[in-house]
Amino acid sequence: MGGQASPRYLQIVAELRRRIETGELAPGDRVPSTREITRQWGVAMATATKALSELRREGMVRAVPGVGTVVAAPSRPVRAARPAAAARPGGPADAPSVQAALTLGRIVETAVTVADTEGLAAVSMRRVAAELGVATMSLYRHVADKDGLLTQMMDRVMAEHPLPANPSACWREAIELAARQLWGLFRRHPWLAPALSVTRPQMIASALPYSEWTLATLHAHGLDLQSAFTAHLTLLNYTRGIAVSLEAEREAEAHSGLDSEEWMDVQGPALLAILATGRFPALSRLATAGYDLDLDALFEFGLQRLLDGLAPLIDEGSADC
């Protein structure tokens, strides 16, 4: 009597695992989405989601915002160095050579890499120590705690692309440049926007040039310092507010196995049932025409409207170009 067939989702997992292990799918390559799996294997969306979730649990794939689910890079050899990596506070010290090689720069770079690839929630002192192959207590010689590490991480990434030495003489061009550069930083590091606080701002040296740039530009074109700084905070929080969706989407995709389009496909029948009541005619027409949510376009649209609102406050003699 033959053995019982394995569940359908495990068969899909086995096939995708084979493609990854043979190199047919290399690190960074996009694996079939849940929608593609349902089409190729003729299974339900729930089965496709379960298959990708299992591959993610095994560490073979990971979610990348704006890209989808891709093959994860092979684990680095340092992961095998568990005795040093898993050392608890108060445990055996690292060898002198390891201590000498450990620097604040390496610690921060490693933490940023973890946050970029897996999200801010994956960053901990223990995890960073594990990546570096050192005892957790070794990190505390260079950084006070996780909050201090986070501040160093934000300072590092915001310093990657400094603003030009001199802003444009056109106030609008100058503000656009700073806002778009900040948006680009949030795009490259999805964890950065939710980590930044507006009500309790962290002391990040490399963030101060953004404040100075906007404040000085608007003040030079007629706004008093109080109004100019209020405008700066409005622009900052607008940009940050949209960018918060980047990290949230990454986490949602990791948990559900569905990208944003696939999630909307699942929600579609429920939405159409509500719209069929006739209570929302404008939304019904929009649903029929379709709407492509593009965060870059959304950011740009809002930025221009905010600048339109600032324009009447600017000196009449100032060129917005």
User: How does DSSP assign 215-259, residue by residue?
Assistant: HHHHHHTT--HHHHHHHHHHHHHHHHHHHHHHHHHHHHHHHHS--
Residue with tokens 């709407």: 291
pLDDT mean over 303-319:
87
3-state SS assignment for residue 281: helix
pLDDT over 60 at 91, yes or no: no
Give the three-state DSSP class for 188. helix
pLDDT, residue 251, reads 76
Q: Does the pLDDT of residue 52 top 60, yes or no?
A: yes
| Residue 278 predicted with pLDDT over 60 | yes
The percentage of residues in the chain with a pLDDT greater than 90, rounded to a whole number, is: 45
pLDDT number for residue 198: 86
Average pLDDT score over residue span 63-74: 73
* pTM metric for this prediction: 0.69
Whether residue 136 contacts residue 87, with contact meaning beta carbons closer than 8 Å, is answered with: yes
Cβ-based burial of 90 (10 A; exposed 0-12, middle 13-18, buried ≥19): exposed
Could you tell me if 44 and 38 are in contact, meaning their C-beta atoms sit under 8 angstroms apart? yes
CA–CA dist 191, 122 (Å, integer): 11
Report pLDDT for 75: 53
CA gap 215, 207 in Å, rounded: 13
Domains of the chain: 8-71 (1.10.10.10), 77-158 (1.10.10.60), 171-313 (1.10.357.10)
- Per-residue pLDDT, averaged over 33-43, amounts to 83
What gap in Å lies between CA 272 and CA 304, rounded to an integer?
A: 33
Report pLDDT for 298: 93
User: pLDDT by residue (tens digit) across 224-273?
Assistant: 999 999 999 999 999 999 999 888 887 777 666 677 777 777 778 888 88
Q: Considering only 63-67, 114-118, 287-291, which range has the smallest mean pLDDT?
A: 63-67
Confidence of residue 80 (pLDDT cuts 50, 70, 90): very low
**What's the rounded mean pLDDT across residues 156-171?**
90
pLDDT at 9 (0 to 100): 86
Binned at pLDDT 50, 70 and 90, residue 299 comes out as very high
Say what the pLDDT of residue 110 is: 93
pLDDT at residue 84, as a whole number = 38
Task: Using the predicted structure, report yes or no on whether residue 86 has a pLDDT greater than 50.
Answer: no
Q: How far is CA 19 from CA 28, 30, 37, 217, in A?
A: 13, 12, 14, 54
Q: pLDDT grade, residue 158 (50/70/90)?
A: very high
3-state secondary structure of 310: helix
Indicate whether 155 pLDDT > 90: yes
Question: Given this model, what pLDDT does residue 94 score?
Answer: 53
Structure confidence at residue 82 (pLDDT): 37
Average pLDDT score over the chain: 84
Helix, strand, coil percentages (3-state) for the chain, rounded to 5, are: 65, 5, 35
How far is residue 202's CA from residue 150's CA, in Å, rounded to a whole number?
10
